[in-house]
Chain A
Amino acid sequence: MTRLALLLCALALPGLASAADYTVQSAGSTLAFHGNFQGSGFDGHFEKFDAAIAYDAAHLEASKFDVTVDLASARTGDNDRDTALPGSDFFDVAQFPKAHFVTTAFHRNGNTVTADGNLTLHGVTKPVSLTVDFKPTTAGATLDVKGALKRLEFGVGGGDYADTSVIADEVIVTAHLNLIAK
């Protein structure tokens, strides 16, 4: 019986391959963005976000990122901008308090892994791709992702603020996550 059980387990394992689940250690983890205003780049970050990360480099199909961002927690180091961002002209947090990103597929191209996903921001859902740099550590892993999105596709900064000669359309999003194995 034991032999049979072991055999069944051995047969079942590859089919049940699941990516390792990780929790994000808030210390040292950042979710940042980089925009451009009047020809000058600026950096911002979100103080509050939740990320559920499942990742296995050998089983990308079983990997998944699910990230929820508290948009009211955007900080850019400038009072005027930090007041404007949650307002109705930009994120409109009164109506859309959260942004949500969830992966749909992972691809490997040489040494580069790309995560495709859907980003829901300001009530609009669009595909966004991220490059993935996953490094196992003794306690878990570090995960660095980077992607670009066009703010106007999501209606962030519409009306007069749609003028891309003042506020660039493209925003670079990066995250550095310290992960601990569950």
Chain B
Amino acid sequence: MSLRSTDRQWGSVAKFFHWIMALAVLVNGVWGLLMTDMTPSMSKISVYAWHKSIGLTVLALFALRLVWRAFDRRPKDEPGPRWQQVAAHAVHGVLYLMIVALPLTGWWFNSLRGFPLQYFKLFNLPAIAGKNEELAHLAHEAHELLFWALLLVLVAHVGAALKHHVFDNDNVLRRMLPFGRPRN
């Protein structure tokens, strides 16, 4: 398996970005939904700090992924109905937007609340908005709703991948699996 993608399958760099970001977004999302119920404590502060750091990592990975995508080639669409190919690309586009919007709304919310933003206790990032408690409420709603919306879109994304793998028995999922090889 090469670093770069080929006509038939994704390269290891594209696979790395795909799976590490999938894991980070899901874990951080569930983590985020649970952490708001914690009673104020040092543990809560630490859990929030991790959530923010993981979110910022997702944002950084996304930027690197875009750069890589610009240089990498892309496997050709697997044979199938045109509408499915269009739908698949549309879903990918929406997922990309959500992956950026999730950390950015988090950052926005954090700024509106006037909280510090520290990356794994290494360095601090600036606020991207002035303190505003009313708007913070809205930003929090947006941040949380985005994750629920992402889960909905994921149903389509994962559902389609599994449908291709299980029922169509084609290479759509296989070419993105960590150790998968496309069949001829």
Residue numbers in B under 8 Å from A160 (CB-CB):
41-43
A172 nearest CB across to chain B (Å) = 17
B101 nearest CB across to chain A (Å) = 24
Q: Is the CB of B42 within 8 A of A166?
A: yes
Verify if A136 is at the interface (C-beta below 8 Å from B).
no
Q: Is the CB of A39 within 8 A of B124?
A: yes
Verify if B33 is at the interface (C-beta below 8 Å from A).
no
Residue numbers in B under 8 Å from A84 (CB-CB):
40
Residue numbers in B under 8 Å from A78 (CB-CB):
114
Chain B interface residue count: which class? 10 to 19
Name the residue on A nearest B131 (C-beta).
A77
- CB within 8 Å of B: which of A157-171? 159-161, 163, 165-166
Verify if A38 is at the interface (C-beta below 8 Å from B).
yes
Name the residue on B nearest A165 (C-beta).
B121
Q: Is the CB of B42 within 8 A of A38?
A: no
CA distance A134 to B51 in the complex (A): 48
Residue numbers in A under 8 Å from B49 (CB-CB):
38, 166
- CB within 8 Å of A: which of B44-91? 45-46, 49
CA distance A160 to B49 in the complex (A): 15
Q: Is the CB of B121 within 8 A of A37?
A: no
Q: Is the CB of A40 within 8 A of B121?
A: no
Name the residue on A nearest B52 (C-beta).
A38
CA distance A84 to B40 in the complex (A): 9
CA distance A80 to B41 in the complex (A): 11
CA distance A38 to B117 in the complex (A): 7
Q: A-side interface residues toward B, CB under 8 Å?
A: 37-40, 77-78, 80, 83-84, 159-161, 163, 165-166
Extra A-B contacts (12), CB below 8 Å, given A84-B40, A166-B49? A38-B45, A38-B116, A39-B118, A39-B124, A40-B118, A40-B124, A83-B40, A160-B41, A160-B42, A161-B42, A163-B42, A166-B42
